Structure 1
Amino acid sequence: MKLALINLLPTTAKVPFIRVRFMALGLSALVLLFSLFEFANVGINFGIDFRGGIQAEVETSNNTTTEDLRTLATSLDLGDPRVQGAGNSDPERQTFLVSLPLQPGEGMEGEQANQTARQALQEALASVEGLELRGTTVIGGAVSRELIFTGFTAIGVALFLMLIYIWFRFEWQYSVGAIVALIHDVIATVGMFSVTQMTFDLATVAAILTIVGYSMNDTVVVYDRIRENLRKYKKMPLADVLNLSINDTLSRTILTSATTLVALISLYLIGGASLQGFAFAMIWGVLIGTYSSIFVAAPLLLFTNVQREGTQSGA
């Protein structure tokens, strides 16, 4: 008896994806509007990489909790502290990251204020029995602003290069669908971080760039099959060709997404707090990327009126 997963997946599925395109596109529009609204009104919980501040890494072998460390940092009266667990391979020891906001002041005055705050945080943590201070870091406002600019520039450049790639590999109609799907994925991911208020740091930017690549790969697979079927079925209505192509690649899409999610969910559950933001962004990105390849990128070809004769060019 064959129990291989590939034998359990539909190879001749006839799911009417294109028939529900208006409902799917309407849902996508609502998700994007809600994401932009949340981003504008709530904002993102930037990590210390982007907002700047003072961060100390401590390791404890006693029953110290995040609330204990937050109370200790609050007593310094240096702003609202943030404390998060960073995980540890040793179950008897816990690692925490304690962060304070940048202290007010300009130039040398601000630098001196932050160094004083850093020293006060070090002394307060060192006074707690059972705590081992692993190190402290001060990230200035100029550095954090540069990281924000660099991070979002990297995402923008990635989207632009993907557009150029699709344009040359297929036709301009395909590039429009692909880039709209990618922008959809990025905005939806940023919106999810705004809703959940999970820490958004450089690891999250790396996850978004990975999501862009994953979603593009999924879209290219569907587009390749669409181009192939356009050549094969010259008299079949375009909507039927699109639906047939999506169903032809459905088993591959399910296998790829499922195996990727197994690894990412494991990483989220046992990878520790320091990796949860990255894993969460990737899990959401795989789901939204798979959705956009099927319900956004492919149906948009109906609106850009892709031409059959144009499929004779390309790779």
Structure 2
Amino acid sequence: MQLYPLKLLPAKTNFNFMHFKKISYTVSIILSVLCLISITLYKFNFGIDFAGGISIEVRSTQTPNLTQMREILGELNIGEVMIQHFGSEHDLSIRVGSNSEENLLHNINLIKTALNTKLPYKFDYRKVDFVGPQIGAQLIQSGLIALTLSFIAIMIYIWIRFEWYFGMGVLIALVHDAILALGFMSITRLDFNLSTIAAILTIIGYSVNDSVVIYDRIRENLRKFAQKPIDQTINISINETLSRTILTVLTTLLAALALVIFGGEAIHSFSILIFFGIIAGTYSSIFISAPILTIFARQTKYRINKKN
């Protein structure tokens, strides 16, 4: 029995992606500006990793009354207390922000004592973490260094593998994706923690991989169709890699969706940001990094459509 490869699209597609480049530029600029405004005005909802404080995961023998728990812990005057379910109704995440490294251990003991003595059910303390604000500041600095080094490494790779204007296209797409990811975290108020840095690095890597596949085909077709306008060549290249792009994004989104649904509270922000970032990265590779080559490639030997 002969097996045939999976095809979601016809063998040859002819969608005119370049026709929408001005619209995609406008949409991306507007979204980027909104994200930058949100980051500037509202900043981020820093988690315990960066802001400092206490994080406790507990499992109760009965379904707890969250309102009563908030009132009991609020009377301790140890800082802002956040309590929410994760996983099941018996699993709770208790988080207390703190601007001081003093009394962290003392506050943990206060929380345990209050829960054990003032509530009619028992708790199993499955995880207890605390981070001082000084360590949080160091983690922020380390995260920024990691992001900067990743950008530099990617640009060196693209510079070696492709012509200079491909590097400019990737750089703009990566900045675009990073701004949207950070803006998404600011707008949604999801916890900004160490896993968020990992998610942003993953999004950047995914976006680069997607762009490189399209760039390889564009470079081949620039040599193959040397007399065609570059916008037409780019359009052909995007269509030729479209089936691969759709299969990749669908399978990756399914994996990310599984993390969102079953990953639990510990990677909640990471999972949602990855899901959003995959969509943003796919969009930028098709509608940003590829079409924008028509601007930078005017300095090259390839024939350009002067009407653009």
**TM-score between the two structures when normalised by the length of structure 2:** 0.91
Q: 1:135 to 1:278 in 2, by over 3 A?
A: closer
Q: 1:298 to 1:115 in 2, by over 3 A?
A: same
Is the Cα–Cα contact under 8 Å of residues 207 and 278 in structure 1 kept in the other structure?
Answer: yes
Of stretches 283-292 and 4-13 in structure 1, the one that deviates more from structure 2 is 4-13
How do residues 11-26 of structure 1 correspond to structure 2 at under 5 angstroms?
Answer: 11-26=11-26
One-letter amino acid matched to 2:145: T
Is the Cα–Cα contact under 8 Å of residues 17 and 243 in structure 1 kept in the other structure?
Answer: yes
| Structure 2 residue corresponding to 1:122, chosen from 107, 112, 120 | 112
2:10 & 2:137 partners in 1: Cα distance?
A: 49
Q: 1:182 to 1:308 in 2, by over 3 A?
A: same
Q: 1:10 to 1:225 in 2, by over 3 A?
A: same
2:188 & 2:55 partners in 1: Cα distance?
A: 22
1:69 & 1:287 partners in 2: Cα distance?
A: 39
Percent of residue pairs bearing the same amino acid type: 36
Is the Cα–Cα contact under 8 Å of residues 44 and 194 in structure 1 kept in the other structure?
Answer: yes
How far is 1:156 from its partner?
A: 1.5
How far is 1:103 from its partner?
A: 5.0
2:3 & 2:267 partners in 1: Cα distance?
A: 34
One-letter amino acid matched to 2:202: T
2:279 & 2:3 partners in 1: Cα distance?
A: 26
How do residues 180-199 of structure 1 correspond to structure 2 at under 5 angstroms?
Answer: 180-199=172-191
Counterpart position of 2:274 = 282
SS in 2 for 1:11: coil
Counterpart position of 1:224 = 216
Q: 1:272 to 1:4 in 2, by over 3 A?
A: farther
Backbone CA RMSD of aligned residues: 2.1
Unpaired runs of 5+ residues, structure 2, are 303-308
Of stretches 167-176 and 261-270 in structure 1, the one that deviates more from structure 2 is 261-270
**1:291 has 2:266 as partner:** no
SS in 2 for 1:234: coil
**1:239 has 2:231 as partner:** yes
Unpaired runs of 5+ residues, structure 1, are 105-109, 310-315
Q: 1:68 to 1:216 in 2, by over 3 A?
A: farther
C-alpha distance after superposition, 1:243-300 (max 9, x if no partner): 1111111010000001111111122112222222111111111100000001110111
How many pairs does the alignment contain?
Answer: 299
C-alpha distance after superposition, 1:68-94 (max 9, x if no partner): 43333212122211223342xxx5x73
How do residues 85-104 of structure 1 correspond to structure 2 at under 5 angstroms?
Answer: 85-87=85-87, 94-104=90-100
One-letter amino acid matched to 2:98: L
2:135 & 2:289 partners in 1: Cα distance?
A: 37
One-letter amino acid matched to 1:256: T
Is the Cα–Cα contact under 8 Å of residues 99 and 133 in structure 2 kept in the other structure?
Answer: no
Counterpart position of 1:60 = 60
Counterpart position of 2:305 = none
How far is 1:167 from its partner?
A: 0.7
C-alpha distance after superposition, 1:21-57 (max 9, x if no partner): 1110110000110000011111111110011012222
1:68 & 1:283 partners in 2: Cα distance?
A: 35
C-alpha distance after superposition, 1:58-114 (max 9, x if no partner): 111201144343333212122211223342xxx5x732221212255xxxxx52x33
One-letter amino acid matched to 1:187: I
How do residues 141-152 of structure 1 correspond to structure 2 at under 5 angstroms?
Answer: 141-152=133-144
SS in 1 for 2:45: coil
2:12 & 2:268 partners in 1: Cα distance?
A: 37
C-alpha distance after superposition, 1:125-154 (max 9, x if no partner): 232322222343321111110111111221
One-letter amino acid matched to 1:241: T
1:288 & 1:213 partners in 2: Cα distance?
A: 12
1:123 & 1:135 partners in 2: Cα distance?
A: 16
Counterpart position of 1:162 = 154
Counterpart position of 1:46 = 46
Of stretches 43-52 and 59-68 in structure 1, the one that deviates more from structure 2 is 59-68
Counterpart position of 2:263 = 271
Is the Cα–Cα contact under 8 Å of residues 231 and 308 in structure 1 kept in the other structure?
Answer: no
How far is 1:186 from its partner?
A: 0.9
SS in 2 for 1:206: helix
**TM-score between the two structures when normalised by the length of structure 1:** 0.89
Is the Cα–Cα contact under 8 Å of residues 59 and 90 in structure 2 kept in the other structure?
Answer: yes
Is the Cα–Cα contact under 8 Å of residues 46 and 193 in structure 2 kept in the other structure?
Answer: yes
